[in-house]
Amino acid sequence: MSEMGITVKKSENFSEWYTQVVLKSGLADYAPIKGCMIFREHSYAIWEKIQEVFNKRIKEKGHKNVYFPLFIPESFLKKEAEHFEGFVPEVAWVTTGGNSKLEERLAVRPTSETIMYATYAKWIRSWRDLPIKLNQWCNIVRWETRATRLFLRTREFLWQEGHTAHATKEEADTEVIEILNIYKDLVENYLAIPVLVGKKTENEKFAGALYTTALEALMPDGKVLQMGTSHNLGQNFAKVFDIKFIGEDEKEHYVWQTSWGITTRLIGALVMVHGDDRGLVLPPKIASVQTVIIPIPYKDVDKELILRKAREISENLQKNGISAVLDDRSEYTPGWKFNEWELKGVPIRIEIGPRDVKKRQVTLARRDTIERFVVKEEEIVDTVTKLLEEIQSNLFNKAKEFLEDHTTTVKTYNDFKEALKKKGGFIRTCWCSNSTCEEKIKEETGATIRLIPLEKEELFSNCVYCDEEGKEVVYFGRAY
């Protein structure tokens, strides 16, 4: 038990707690190669759910999935200067193929703008070819030198990257926001993690973008985690890769482009935001196993009867669209199973013993509140259905409350520093729009501007740093 369970408290040693939950719940493991990780079945199933939800949404909007090559010639990466500067420090380079040294070294994809857009230039001729709306799910490599954090900072991770090309800036703007909204829906309504959305400053935007929008969530340690980004690339890449089309006006134009992505770090956020001292807590809508049924055979004589009843309940739940696993392994005790499934974060446990069979009832245990209660057999499906919804919204509401509690509005730099030190979280304040102030604050406190709200908020003071006229209400925070 002690080896299997989490041995530190979330509130006492957050970082160690996180690592233990990830490893012991079977979400992931360190790979036998530095900086890399193994996505075990329990996390990959969550990733498959995320793919399912997101694929459905973008396919409805007419996006299509594709797959572009893993390797990008160095000369391609170099074409857009800012982009190259942004990525080159963390590129893994292939220099040898078989027994031959390559003439030009190849980047293992750190992102795919350049390889994709070189091809878009070939595909796009006329306005009839627009828009192009493609997406790919793939692995990404960035040669991190900082310490590995499972899901949050590894040399390889999984993501989706969408890349679109449009005839006008307006269409590209719309695309950026529509995708941002799909991300927000996915993260808030499935992962049950509340987010702030907004625009990045010039300092923080994507290397090569016109502007970047993003979702930011608050972790229990008061630090901010970027949950996804959606960029308007303007015509920067179009000019570099010569992506032009003949418009309905019969003139030549450069296309307007967007790119956007979410990564497997979302799974790390899920662990941090909802987990507790017993392990993982999964929101029902993202859990591949929503209910686990554990037979409790006190006496051998009742065993077959209990199992039969357990199977009946399991089938009935599944018939009603609720995923259920019957844990009928005989080599483990019920107590051991309780701990294991709690560790894995399954939303509802259903216990069934000999007395329950006799009384035509079961005991339900909800993972989020650890409450247990007895339910009549005929009410199981209804109760579980309602409970799953309740758990989903309870998890979201708790996280939302935490976010609101840890968003502090300040007018002075002293208050800024104090709030950051005492509570962390988001610091809402006014800023003069000058990047010098932004950089000074980063140097002195480690906090950066996470977002400028999309809908301009009403100014309430001068710039928190230089005391010149405030131009923007912004949200600062210390980021992962």
Binding site for a second copy (CB under 8 A): 29, 31-33, 36-41, 44-45, 47-48, 64-73, 76, 89-99, 105-106, 108, 115, 118-119, 122-123, 128, 134, 138-139, 141, 143, 145, 155-156, 158, 331
Asked if residues 432 and 463 have their Cβ atoms less than 8 Å apart, the reply is: yes
Q: Rounded distance, CA 400 to CA 187, Å? A: 12
Can you tell me the distance from the alpha carbon of 344 to that of 294, in angstroms, rounded to the nearest whole number? 15
Name which of 38 and 81 has its Cβ closer to a second copy. Answer: 38
Q: Which is nearer to a second copy, 83 or 428 (CB)?
A: 83
The contacts of residue 457 (CB under 8 Å, 6+ apart) are: 473
CB atoms within 10 A of CB 389: 12
Least CB distance from residue 381 to a second copy, whole Å? 23
Nearest approach, Cβ of residue 135 and a second copy (Å): 9
Cβ closer to a second copy: 87 or 211?
Answer: 87
Torsion, Cα 266 268 272 273, to 10 degrees, reads 10
Shortest Å distance, C-beta 17 to a second copy: 22
Nearest distance from residue 451's CB to a second copy, in Å?
Answer: 29
> Looking at beta carbons only, is 122 or 358 nearer to a second copy?
122
Of residues 128 and 251, the one with the C-beta less far from a second copy: 128
| Residue 62 vs 458, nearer CB to a second copy | 62
CB 439 to a second copy: min, Å:
24
In sequence order, the β-bridge partners of residue 126 are 246
Q: Which CB, 35 or 477, lies closer to a second copy?
A: 35
Nearest approach in angstroms of CB 64 to a second copy is 4
Q: Which of 359, 357, 360, 362 is nearest to 304 (CA)?
A: 357
Q: Alpha-carbon distance 408 to 426, whole Å?
A: 6
Show the tokens assigned to 90.
């963390």
* Residue 136, strand partner residues: 161
Q: Closest distance between a second copy and the C-beta of residue 128, in Å?
A: 6
Distances in whole angstroms, Cα of residue 434 to Cα of each of 194, 203, 214, 479: 29, 10, 20, 20
| Paired tokens of 402 | 């935490």
Question: Cα separation of 286 and 345, whole Å?
Answer: 11
Are 95 and 101 in contact by the 8 Å Cβ rule? The answer is yes
Torsion angle of the four alpha carbons 312, 315, 317, 320, in this order, in degrees rounded to the nearest 10: -130
CA angle 381, 190, 295 (to 5 degrees): 35
The pairing of strands 448-453 and 64-65 is unpaired
- On whether the CB atoms of residues 111 and 41 are closer than 8 A, the answer is no
Q: How far is the CB of 65 from a second copy (least distance, A)?
A: 5
To a second copy, the closest distance from the beta carbon of 76 in angstroms equals: 7
The radius of gyration computed from the CA coordinates of the chain, to the nearest angstrom, equals 25
Crossing angle of helices 303-319 and 380-405, in 10° steps, is 70
Compare residues 111 and 212 and give the one whose CB is closer to a second copy.
111
Residue with tokens 């919804």: 389
Scan for tokens 């080159």, then name that residue: 88
Smallest gap from residue 466 Cβ to a second copy (A): 36
Crossing angle for the helix pair 41-60 and 169-189, to the nearest 10 degrees: 140
Q: What angle do CA 227, 233, 239 make, to 5 degrees?
A: 155
* 64 vs 421, beta carbon nearer a second copy: 64
Closest to a second copy by CB, 157 vs 211, is 157
The residue among 93 and 480 lying less far from a second copy, judged by its C-beta, is: 93
Q: Shortest gap between Cβ of 57 and a second copy (angstroms)?
A: 15
Q: Are 148 and 19 in contact (CB under 8 A)?
A: no
Q: How far is the CB of 340 from a second copy (least distance, A)?
A: 12
Nearer to a second copy, 151 or 183 (CB): 151
Buried b (16+ CB within 10 A) or exposed e, 352-364: bbbebbeeebbbb
